[in-house]
Amino acid sequence: MKISKLVLGLLLAAPTLPAMAATTPAQNAPSDVRCLLLSNGFSKSASNEQARQAAAQTLLFYVGRLDGRMSAGALEAAMRAQSTSIDPKTAGPEMTACAARLAHAQQTLQALGRAAAPATPPK
């Protein structure tokens, strides 16, 4: 629950979320690598502790998404390719979109957990 509050705080602090909803990148390895790099950068350079922590949690999400999906060499090459194309002018809105993908994944998992939970046993 702590992660959800941190991500929610990051999303609420970013006024560009509605504009980014339509342009959120598809969930594929290159966009996950980009989000990993953005999250890493924001986890080190965000202006306040809450934003740094939210970015760090988002970073962990993308590490998990990429783990086992790409070989170490392919991941390194993708990171090198993506790192040269990150524009500081658009990094904030892109990070917001990455955090929104995490929030959406959390909501989906919570809904699936509720649906799979057994009904309350009779007393």
Concatenate the DSSP letters of all residues of 77-90 into one string: HHHHHHHTT--HHH
Confidence at residue 122, expressed as pLDDT on a 0 to 100 scale: 61
Tell me: the pLDDT tens digits for 97-118? Answer: 999 999 999 999 999 988 888 7
Cα dihedral sign for 85, 86, 88, 93?
Answer: positive
Tell me: the pLDDT tens digits for 54-79? Answer: 999 999 999 999 998 899 999 999 99
Please report, for residues 112, 113, 115, 117, 123, the alpha-carbon distance to residue 94 in angstroms, rounded to integers and kept in the order given. 27, 29, 32, 35, 50
